[in-house]
Structure 1
Amino acid sequence: MIRVATWNIHRARGHVGLPRPDRILAVLAELRADVIALQEAQHYFRRATPMLPEAGLAEIGLVPLRVDPAQQGFRSNLVLARREARLLAPPRGLKLGGWEPRGAILVDLDLGQGPFRLLAAHLSLGAARRRAQAAALLAAMDPALPTLLLGDFNEWRPQGSALAVLAPVFGRPALVPSFPAIRPMLPLDHILGHPAGLVEAVALHDTPAARRASDHLPLLARLVPPWRFGPAGATSTA
Structure 2
Amino acid sequence: MNDSASAPTFKLASYNIHKAVGTDRQRDPLRILKVLAEVDADIVVLQEADRRFGTRDRTLPDFLVEQHSDYVPVPFDVQHDSMGWHGNSIMVRRDISVIDHDVLHIPYLEPRGVVTATLQLPGGAELSVFGMHLDLSGLWRVRQARAIAELAQAAQRERPTLLAGDLNEWRPNGGCLKEFARHFTLLDCGRSFHSQRPLGRLDRIMHGPSLEAVDFGVHHSPLASRASDHLPVWADLRAPAKRAAAT
SS in 1 for 2:143: helix
Which AA in structure 2 matches 1:66?
P
Residues paired across the two proteins, number = 228
State the Cα deviation string for residues 208-234 of structure 1 (Å, max 9, x = none): 1100100000011112123379xxxxx
Partner of 1:168: 182
The whole-number CA distance in structure 2 between the counterparts of 1:31 and 1:211 is 13
The whole-number CA distance in structure 1 between the counterparts of 2:180 and 2:242 is 23
Percent of aligned positions that are identical: 35
SS in 2 for 1:121: strand
The runs of 5 or more residues in structure 1 that have no matched partner are 230-238
State the Cα deviation string for residues 105-161 of structure 1 (Å, max 9, x = none): 111101123001100110011111111111111121221211110000011323211
Instruction: Choose from 198, 215, 225 the match for 2:229.
Output: 215
Partner of 1:15: 23
Contact 1:171 1:196 in 2 (8 A): no
State the Cα deviation string for residues 148-194 of structure 1 (Å, max 9, x = none): 10000011323211110011211343251100001111100001110
The whole-number CA distance in structure 1 between the counterparts of 2:24 and 2:17 is 12
The whole-number CA distance in structure 2 between the counterparts of 1:82 and 1:16 is 29
Contact 2:28 2:227 in 1 (8 A): yes
SS in 1 for 2:229: coil
TM-score (norm 2): 0.86
CA displacement at 1:102 relative to structure 2: 1.0
Alignment root-mean-square deviation, CA: 1.8
Question: 4+ residue runs of structure 1 moved beyond 6 angstroms?
Answer: none
Cα 1:61–1:19 shift into 2, 3 Å: same
Are 2:43 and 1:35 equivalent residues in the alignment?
yes
Partner of 1:66: 75
SS in 1 for 2:141: helix
Contact 2:85 2:103 in 1 (8 A): yes
Which AA in structure 1 matches 2:104?
L
CA displacement at 1:104 relative to structure 2: 1.0
Instruction: Choose from 118, 128, 131 the match for 1:108.
Output: 118
The whole-number CA distance in structure 2 between the counterparts of 1:97 and 1:82 is 31
Partner of 1:130: 141
The runs of 5 or more residues in structure 2 that have no matched partner are 1-8
Please give the residue correspondences for 1:1-238 in structure 2 after superposition, counting only pairs within 5 Å.
Answer: 1-47=9-55, 49-59=57-67, 60-68=69-77, 70=80, 71-89=82-100, 91-113=101-123, 114-141=125-152, 142=155, 143-195=157-209, 197-227=211-241
Cα 1:197–1:146 shift into 2, 3 Å: closer
Cα 1:25–1:225 shift into 2, 3 Å: same
SS in 2 for 1:107: strand
Deviates more, 1:209-218 or 1:134-143: 134-143
Contact 2:131 2:165 in 1 (8 A): yes
The whole-number CA distance in structure 2 between the counterparts of 1:133 and 1:139 is 10
The whole-number CA distance in structure 2 between the counterparts of 1:25 and 1:172 is 26
Contact 1:109 1:115 in 2 (8 A): yes
